[in-house]
Chain A
Amino acid sequence: MTKKTIQANKLLIEQLKLQIGHISGVIETQGQTVFGASKLMSKDEITDFSLEFLELMLVLLETTDPLDHQQSAFHALRAFFGNMSKQIMARGGRMEDFLRYIQFLQRCLIESLEEDHGMKIDEMRAILLLLSAVFNELTLSVFQAYLEEKEGTINAQQEELRETSTPITEIWDGVLTLPIIGTLDSSRTMIVMEALLNRIAAERARAVVMDVTGVRSIDSEVSHHLIQMVRAIQLMGADAILTGIRPEIARALTSLNIDLGNVTTRASLSDGLKEAFRRLGIQVTSAKA
Chain B
Amino acid sequence: MKISIFGAGNTLLTDEGFGVHFVRHLQSRYNLPENVDVVDAGTMGMLASGFIENYDYVFIIDVVEVKEKPGTVLIYDYDDIRLNKMPAKLSPHQIGIQEMLLMCDMRDVSPENLKLISVVPESMEIGDKLSETLQNNLEKVENILLKELESLDVPFYKKSTNTNLKKTTKYHSQICTKCMLMGKNTAKLKLKK
Are A and B a genuine interacting pair, yes or no? no
Q: List residues of B whose CB falls within 8 A of some A CB.
A: none
